[in-house]
Structure 1
Amino acid sequence: MPIFLNSGNTLFIRAAVTFGACGLAFCLQPATAQEYSTEQQDTEVVLAPDGFSPYAGRNFPQVPLWGDSHLHTMVSVDAGTMTRLSQEDAYRFARGEEVTTTHGLRAKLSRPLDWLVISDHAEMYGLMPQLLSGDAQVLATEQGRIWYEALTAGDAQRAFDTAMEIVASLSGETPPIDNPKAIKHAWEAYTALAERYNEPGVFSAIIGYEYTTEGANNLHRNVLFRDDATRANQTRPFSQYDSKNPEDLWTYLDDYEARSGAEVLAIPHNGNLSNGRMFSLNAYDGSALTEEIAQMRARFEPLYEPTQIKGDGEAHPFLSPDDEFADHDTWDAANLNGTEVKTPDMLAGEYAREALKRGLAIEREIGVNPFKFGMVGATDSHTGMATAQEDNFFGKHSGVEPEPHRWEHLVIEAPDPALNIYGWKQAAGGLGAVWASENTRAAIFDAMMRKETYATTGSRMTVRFFGGYDFTEADTISRLPADAGYAKGVPMGGDLAAAPEGTAPSFLVAALKDPISGNLDRIQIVKGWLDAEGETHEKVFDVAWSGDRSPDDSGKLPDVGNTVDVANASWTNTIGAPELIAAWQDPEFDATQPAFYYARVIEIPTPRWTAYEAKRFGVEMPEEVPMITTERAYTSPIWYTPG
């Protein structure tokens, strides 16, 4: 049944809890608690000869395009020591074909992806396939010959030890094999392959690589190209051997754009393991942040990756103690390899919501917001397979594939055993959704630059989010919410115009469930703002929810419930809603305070990948291993700036 709230401010909420005759669309039932009516009026409607179809002339994005901006294959030095899946295997898998994994398992996605970035590491790009094949350019180096002989001698232990030695060499100041010709050859082989698999309108093979720096502190970036191989071949992957300073990466990309006329962007990822460094208030060298550096970061890093296999980085319960959904797949014990214990003061420099708040404060100080980013999820899988679905999760790397003891496998061995990370800690996520006008490299890249994107933890729910000043309940009745959204406001990633005097921003938000995942629990709008004293604040508003629940006196909404049968790794969609939609106006708006708003959509509880694993292999896991998850989506924010 529909739900309405009215607390003295303009606040409209509707929630459809059954499919009814409307199917998988944004279907709403007529209002009963308000005077609004959907009945046809006795007014003559005259249509122009070409004005009958409501879909004609729509020039905005119609569907989200799903992809992974962070996938590794055997071309990456670390992944290549374990996986034998090639870049071509990765494309085939992403397009929906069945592949055979490194350990001989059959694997296939439930649904193909629309786009993919194979972001193999820049460091010694292509080394492992070259070593294993006896590439002449690599064997021309002394280190290459030593490693080749060790890997191919037929001694399994020696081969393993050598693989670990190769991975460890990535932490050095200089590459153990410095062979630009071999890197150029591997890079051009990759870009040529991307051209073969790129099919405009069907699948976009976006060219990219990962710049991996400060390995233990995870200041990594995925670099994405808008253009084809012709332009991408005018450069080479910029690596930590060129510089460990991300600011130098931006300068390199700036120079490349100027030389080639091409366009590139970079996506920082999983700052939750950076021990406060990802969203530092200072420049890389510790000096004061300058306007120039802030502008470069804002220009080249329009997106951030808040969720992936190594945990979720949207919010943390220490930073957001009033947010009951902040503690999701949290990794907060140490940095990436467990060499530096994390302290509470580091957390503010690691999580997306806090970074968005910091950005408001920095902008007031220097005039530029370096953290004005949108959201896009990704896997960071090192298996060559972009698997983010709970019942189809192949893990971080191919050293251990699905088998009875994968959950207890040691993923990260820290100097202090208390900081070790075991297999069950991995999250089956995430995915990136892009609202692009068509499935082409250029259209997807352009959507990323305008931040019309959202991240999910693996579910493929459809989410719309618009901001403006005159959204009303009537806009929630339409089966075409984007018509009102684009006509009356800006989409996710946009900036609100100046507020008309006496008016507060209003938002139109809609969500449709993933057909093969859980129903929807609720939609929330997260607000962050900066007060006159320079202090940042946040608040989470429930704006639409399923069922006939009502907030209690403290404003807290009761839990949606839980239908998960852990033993059988199943659940029922007898709770929750297939779709939710709301028009909401900020009841606490202050026109003098800069602010951002983003939507978070929460599914009902469903089985986690560990529950599927326990069921399939008949194993029991200790109580500390979570068996239930709540998939969610995070939209890119919409910003308000006074004046």
Structure 2
Amino acid sequence: MLASSTLDALIKPSRMAFTLLLLHAAVLPLAPLANAAAQEPYSPNVGTAPDRQVYFGDTHVHTGLSADAGGSGTRLMPEDAYRFARGEEVLSNTGQPVKLRRPYDFFMITDHSDGMGLISDLLEGTSNVMADPKGKRYHEDFNAGGQQAADAMFRLIAEFSQGKTPEALLYQPGVPAYRRVWERLVAAAEEFDDPGRFTTFIAYEWTSLVKGNNLHRNVIFRDDADKALEVVPFTTTPPIGSRNPRDLWSWMAAYEKDTGGDVTAIPHNGNLSNGMMFPLRDDFDSGKELDAAYAKSRMTWERIYEVTQFKGDGEAHPLLSPDDEFADFETWDFGNLDASQAKTPAMLPSEYARSGLLRGLQLQQTLGINPYQFGFQGATDTHTGLSTADEDNFFSKFTTTEPSATRTVHPGKSNPDLGIEGFTGWMYNAAGVTAVWAEQNSRTAIFDAMERRETYATTGPRIALRFFGGWSFEAGDASIPDLARKGYELGVPMGSELGAAGAKAPSFIISALRDPIGANLDRIQVVKGWVTAEGEAKEQVYNVAWSDGRELDADGKLPGVGNTVDLSVPTWSNSIGAAELSTVWRDPDFDAAQAAFYYVRVLEIPTPRWTAYDAVRFGVEAPEGVTLITQERAYSSPIWYTP
């Protein structure tokens, strides 16, 4: 070992030299590179805006503050729902520990506009509630819990749907409990908002029901508490509120004018609207033809649409799209929300997203404005406070169908007199999730992405999906590392409109990357809709990219990808499918004279459905007819072409 004096002798000259070098650098600036001023910056990111990243969230969540949730046993409050969504472990309403595999990036609690404050008073048995015979009965039933409380919940929904709620239970603005609950919801959103990590939004669900037909909208604020607390939610019961969406849009316009704020509305999945979600005539004005004012208001205030959620998938219906082999997915078509009216085939075109988009093109021909020019998003509509869209971690819609050995056969709403069998617990769909492409994880950036419709829906998996349309994309553009930059420079992203027609048909850059901890991809499809000069709606589904070297048949159909699901575990294998699929696709049937829309549907390989996990975990046989295997998917917002 060297002595300390020897080390000092060796180190001292080096210290002196280093000191002189630093002094020299301080007084003599570095020589500039030759011709640097005339050269482009070496860094390709100089002067550019931040790249848009994909963020995942839920826009439709109810806690125990919603009357139908709290009445049926939900005791988790907004604070619990936020903690769960950002990744913390909580106890469910039935006392089961539950945690997400991955936290959400953003989150919106949308407790119902009507009846805010009612459920706490019903449970407590306040004097005004107990003085009303129905209020007293609800107090007793809800406190009894279990199926008795669930039955009371459906009874409460039915009375509200038909406009028969007792006056004492019509909690509206002006009732002290109403304002208190709104202030609590706003305060919770402010408390848990953590920009860059976990973004929360002030929101509520406008609870319009027209004789049981579901016209709900989730109202989302871009703003903070200072503006949101200048108002209380718009309700649906006259004279203060209204069930007419036009009146909601007027309320939104007044809010923005009076506060300088910004607000948007997201229509609920329309499969329980019984033909009222995408009307051709005004159901609130004697069936008159829709006018340009309606079209302009709707396309202004409702920029995106909830295409999938727990109560079924709403992209397409097999009767409307008989040539689409994937149209019959998690289909709910038995009736309206309270089972007071059976479904008829004539109602279907006004309930599903694809047919709604087609109706928008038809109305544009006569009105000059497309009222149904909406992007896609997904949500859960959970009423447990637990947003669980993963098949192996599904806590269902209501507390009564949280995990148990019997929940697959748990009865839901039915109406034997009308031949409506309704649904049972296994029919709930573990979906969905909203993805947005935004510059950062913040209220302003995510809200702005929703307003420009740069969003897409998934049924749960976090698939990364890009979709750009333009007139000059070439075949190799899908394989370059910065395909998104090319997409923005030479085209438009999902949710946008194509400019004037080019010399040839439009082309589209499409790229899909599987969920990093999920299943491989089966295929990418482009769904095109258009309207002829005579106003006839048409659609076509194109297979544009797929895995495993399969070949299209003469009709453009693609053989199935296969199935590796083992129901005994259950599990699956990524030995089939592809981790990534991409392509540049040009419309082979383009007609520059016809208005059209295009959107992308991405399918995963088959995987176990939540019912398969239940069968194994609880050691029970799945009843006959219960679906055990699913093909998860993603839906991009459309790109529109208008001549």
What TM-score, normalized to structure 1? 0.88
Shift of 1:298: 0.7
Residue 271 of structure 1 pairs with residue 261 of structure 2: no
Counterpart of 2:215 in structure 1 is 219
State the 1:582 CA deviation. Answer: 0.5
Calculate the aligned-residue CA RMSD, in Å: 2.3
Aligned equivalents of 2:557, 2:528: Cα separation in 1 = 16
The sequence identity of aligned pairs, in percent, is 52
Aligned partner of residue 471 in structure 1, secondary structure: coil
How many Å separate the matches in 2 of 1:311 and 1:162?
23
Give the letter aligned to residue 62 of structure 1: R
8 Å CA contact 2:595–2:642 kept in 1: the answer is yes
The structure-2 alpha-carbon separation of the partners of 1:582 and 1:158, relative to structure 1 and needing over 3 Å to count, comes to closer
| Aligned pairs for 1:5-154 within 5 A | 51-54=41-44, 58-59=48-49, 61-81=51-71, 82-132=73-123, 146=136, 150=140
Q: Which residue of 1 aligns with 2:424?
A: 422
Does the 8 Å contact 1:382/1:396 carry over to 2? yes
Identify the residue that residue 594 of structure 2 maps to in structure 1: 593
In the aligned structure 2, how far is the partner of 1:332 from the partner of 1:149?
33
Question: Residues 160 and 283 of structure 1: is their aligned pair in 2 closer, same or farther, counting only changes over 3 Å?
Answer: closer
Distance, in Å, in 1 between the alignment partners of 2:134 and 2:336 is 31
Following superposition, the deviation at residue 53 of structure 1 comes to 4.5
Amino acid across the alignment from 2:63: T
Residue of structure 2 in register with 1:624 after alignment: 625
2:467, 2:271 → 1: CA distance? 26
State the Cα distance separating 1:459 from its structure 2 match.
Answer: 1.0
1:193 counterpart = 2:194: no
Cα separation, 2, equivalents of 1:283 and 1:559: 43
Map 1:200-349 to 2 at 5 A: 200-214=195-209, 216-241=212-237, 242-285=241-284, 286-349=287-350
Per-residue Cα deviation, 1:345-392 (whole angstroms, up to 9, x for no partner): 111111101110110110110111100000000001000011111001
Alignment map for 1:358-377 (pairs within 5 Å):
358-377=359-378
Aligned CA distance change for structure 1 residues 124 and 95 (closer, same or farther; 3 Å): same
3-state SS in 1 of match to 2:540: strand
Contact persistence 1:83–1:399 (CA under 8 A): no
- Is 1:181 matched up with 2:176? yes
Residue 144 of structure 1 and its aligned partner are, at CA, apart by 10
**How far, CA to CA, are the matches of 1:536 and 1:299 in structure 2?**
24
Alpha-carbon spacing, 1:148–1:220, altered in 2? closer, same or farther (3 Å): closer
Q: What SS is found at the alignment partner of 1:64?
A: strand
How many Å separate the matches in 2 of 1:383 and 1:438? 29
Once the two structures are superposed, the pairs formed by residues 521-600 of structure 1 within 5 Å of their partners are 521-600=522-601
SS of aligned partner of 2:185? helix
Contact conserved, 1:94 with 1:113, CA < 8 A, in 2? Answer: yes
**Are the structure 2 counterparts of residues 156 and 93 from structure 1 closer, same or farther at C-alpha, using a change threshold of 3 Å?**
closer
**Structure 1 residues 175-184 or 574-583, which shifts more?**
175-184
Structure 1 stretch displaced more, 271-280 or 416-425: 416-425
Read off the aligned partner of 1:71 and give its amino acid letter. Answer: V
What amino acid does structure 2 have at the position aligned with 1:115? F
Structure 2 residue aligned with 1:455, among 454, 457, 462? 457
Kindly indicate whether residue 493 of structure 2 is the aligned counterpart of residue 491 of structure 1: yes
CA distance in 1, matches of 2:94, 2:478: 50
Partner of 1:476: 478
Cα deviation code 1:327-351 (max 9, x no counterpart) = 1001112222322221111111111
1:454-507 residue CA offsets vs partner (Å, 9 max, x unmatched):
00111110000000011112212212221111111100001111012x321110
- Alpha-carbon separation, structure 1, partners of 2:273 and 2:155: 24
Cα 1:160–1:272 shift into 2, 3 Å: closer
* Counterpart amino acid of residue 266 in structure 1: A
Are the equivalent residues in 2 in contact too, given 1:87–1:190 (CA < 8 A)?
yes
Structure 1 stretch displaced more, 533-542 or 447-456: 533-542
The question of whether the paired residues in 1 share the 8 Å contact of 2:526 and 2:601 is answered with yes
Distance change (3 Å), C-alpha of 1:431 and 1:409? same
Residues 155, 76 of structure 1: CA spacing in aligned structure 2 closer, same or farther, 3 A cutoff?
closer
Q: Equivalents in 2 of 1:580, 1:401: separation in Å? A: 36
Q: Once the two structures are superposed, what CA deviation does each residue of 1:403-438 show, in whole Å capped at 9, x if it has no partner?
A: 111000012232346522001111100110011111
Go from structure 1 to structure 2 and tell me whether the alpha carbon gap of 1:58 and 1:326 turns closer, same or farther (over 3 Å shift): farther
CA contact (8 A) 1:131 1:144 kept: no
Structure 1 residues 361, 148: closer, same or farther in 2, change over 3 A?
closer
Residues 291/517 of structure 1: CA separation in 2 closer, same or farther (3 Å cut) = same
Indicate whether 1:407 and 2:408 are aligned.
Answer: yes
| Aligned match for 1:443, one of 426, 429, 445 | 445
Secondary structure of 2:227's partner? helix
Number of aligned residues: 595
Comparing 551-560 and 412-421, the one that deviates more: 412-421
Which deviations, in whole Å up to 9, do the C-alpha atoms of 1:93-137 show, x marking residues without a partner? 11011110111000111100011110001111132234445779x
Shift, 1:623, TM fit: 3.3
Return the letter of the residue paired with 2:608.
P
Q: Deviations over 1:117-160 (max 9, x none)?
A: 10001111132234445779x77986898479647987989877
Cα distance, 1:128–1:464 mapped onto 2, change above 3 Å = same
Give the 3-state SS of the residue equivalent to 1:410 in structure 2. coil
Q: Distance in 2 between matches of 1:73 and 1:168?
A: 20
Output the CA distance in 1 between the equivalents of 2:387 and 2:225: 23
Structure 2 residue identity aligned to 1:77 = A
Structure 1 residues 553, 411: CA separation in 2 closer, same or farther (over 3 Å shift)?
A: same
Structure 2: distance between partners of 1:70 and 1:154: 28
Task: State the match for 2:14 in structure 1.
Answer: none
Partners of 1:132 and 1:151 within 8 A in 2: no
Which shifted more, 148-157 or 326-335? Answer: 148-157
Amino acid at match of 1:257: E
Q: SS state of the match for residue 450, structure 2?
A: helix
Q: Partner letter of residue 224 of structure 2? A: D
Tell me the distance in 2 between the aligned counterparts of 1:149 and 1:353. 43
Query: Which residue matches 1:39?
Result: none
Hey, what's the Cα distance between the residues in 1 that align with 2:348 and 2:138?
A: 42
Structure 2 CA distance, aligned partners of 1:492 and 1:507? 10
Question: What one-letter code is carried by the residue in structure 2 that aligns with 1:181?
Answer: P
8 Å Cα contact 1:610/1:627 also seen in 2: yes
Structure 1: how far apart are the matches of 2:538 and 2:484?
Answer: 30
- Using structure 2 for the length normalisation, give the TM-score: 0.88
Q: Does the residue aligned with 2:542 lie in a helix, a strand or coil?
A: strand
Letter in 2 for 1:433: A
Return the alpha-carbon distance in structure 1 between the equivalents of residues 132 and 472 of structure 2: 69
Q: Aligned partners of 1:217 and 1:130: how far apart in 2?
A: 27
SS of 2:416 mapped into structure 1: coil
Q: Greater shift after overlay, 119-128 or 633-642? A: 119-128
- Residues 549 and 157 (structure 1 numbering): CA distance in 2 closer, same or farther, change over 3 Å? closer
Structure 2: gaps (5+ residues): 1-35
Q: 1:455 to 1:145 in 2, by over 3 A?
A: closer
What are the ranges of 5 or more consecutive residues in structure 1 without an aligned counterpart? 1-45
Cα contact 2:138–2:152 (8 A) shared by 1: no
Whole-angstrom distance in 2 between the partners of 1:321 and 1:156: 41
